C-alpha cells in the first residue's frame, strides 16, 4: 500500500474507471455488501477515493495516497493517512474491517492481516475483496500488469493463499462470495465460493 506514486498522479483516471465500468463496479459492491454488517463501527483499509466505503456506509478509512484520500473526504469519509501494516488505531477499535483490491499492493500482507486482527473487537469481521489470480480475469491481470501504471508492481494471490494467510493471522470462520464470471458482460451474478469468479470476497472472524 506504500506504492502510491501512480495513484497520486493518476487519481482522476483511477476514479473514472468506476463510471466507465459501472456494471463491474456494481457487481463488486454487491459481493461485498453481502458480508458488511448492517450496524456497527467499520473502517476500510486502503479506502482509495471512497468508491466502496461511501455506498457501503463506512465512514472511516485509511489511505496513504494523498490525492486519493482527498477525493474520499469529498465523498464524506473521514480519512487518516497510513498504511495497512501500521494502522493508526488503538486495539479493539472496530466491529468490522474492509479491504478492497488492496492485498495485491501490500508490502507485507501477513503484517497487514495481523494489524486488522489487532484493531478488531472480539467477534468482529474482516472482509477482503481481491482479484483471484487463478481466475480467467486474474490471469489476464497478471499477464498484462506491466502495461498498467497501477498494477505494474502488484502481487496477485489465489483464494487459497489469502485464506491461509488469514488463518495464520488468527482468523477463523471463512465464508466466500464471488463475481465477475467469464462470459458475463452485463447483469453480473453473485455466487458463493471462489472457483471461477474474477473478484472474490472472503469474510473471516476474530474469535470471541
Which 3 state secondary structure label does DSSP give 151? coil
In the chain, what are the domain boundaries? 5-206
More confident residue, 10 or 193: 193
> In whole angstroms, what is the distance from residue 199 CA to residue 100 CA?
10
- CATH classification (class only), 5-206: alpha beta
Mean pLDDT computed over every residue of the chain: 92
Q: What is the pTM of this model?
A: 0.93
Per residue in 116-139, pLDDT (tens digit) is 999 999 999 999 999 999 999 999
Q: Give the pLDDT score at 5.
A: 66
> In whole angstroms, what is the distance from residue 67 CA to residue 90 CA?
25
* CB of 109 closer than 8 Å to CB of 163: no
Cα 177 to Cα 31, 44, 166, distances in angstroms: 6, 18, 16
Per residue in 52-78, pLDDT (tens digit) is 999 999 999 999 999 999 999 999 999
Helix spans in the chain (H): 5-9, 11-20, 22-33, 53-56, 66-74, 109-119, 136-143, 159-168
> In whole angstroms, what is the distance from residue 59 CA to residue 96 CA?
12
* CB of 197 closer than 8 Å to CB of 182: no
Q: Give the pLDDT score at 1.
A: 42
> In whole angstroms, what is the distance from residue 92 CA to residue 85 CA?
16
Residues in the chain: 208
Amino acid at each position: 500500500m506504500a506504492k502510491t506514486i501512480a495513484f497520486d498522479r493518476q487519481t482522476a483516471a483511477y476514479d473514472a474507471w468506476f463510471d466507465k465500468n459501472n456494471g463491474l463496479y456494481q457487481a463488486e459492491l454487491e459481493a461485498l455488501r453481502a458480508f458488511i454488517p448492517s450496524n456497527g463501527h467499520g473502517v476500510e483499509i486502503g479506502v482509495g477515493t471512497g468508491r466502496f466505503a461511501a455506498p457501503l456506509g463506512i465512514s472511516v478509512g485509511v489511505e496513504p495516497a494523498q490525492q486519493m484520500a482527498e477525493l474520499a473526504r469529498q465523498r464524506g469519509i473521514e480519512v487518516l493517512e497510513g498504511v495497512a501494516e501500521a494502522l493508526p488505531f488503538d486495539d479493539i477499535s472496530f466491529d468490522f474491517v474492509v479491504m478492497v483490491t488492496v492485498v495485491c499492493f501490500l508490502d507485507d500482507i501477513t503484517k497487514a492481516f495481523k494489524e486488522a486482527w489487532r484493531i478488531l473487537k472480539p467477534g468482529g469481521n474482516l472482509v477482503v475483496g481481491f482479484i483471484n489470480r487463478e481466475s480467467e480475469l486474474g490471469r489476464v491481470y497478471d499477464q498484462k500488469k506491466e502495461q498498467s501504471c497501477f498494477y505494474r508492481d502488484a502481487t496477485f494471490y489465489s483464494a487459497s493463499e489469502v485464506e491461509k494467510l488469514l488463518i495464520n493471522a488468527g482468523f477463523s470462520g471463512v465464508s466466500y462470495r464471488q463475481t465477475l464470471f467469464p462470459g458475463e458482460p452485463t447483469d453480473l451474478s453473485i455466487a458463493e465460493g471462489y472457483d471461477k469468479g474474477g473478484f472474490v470476497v472472503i469474510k473471516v472472524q476474530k474469535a470471541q
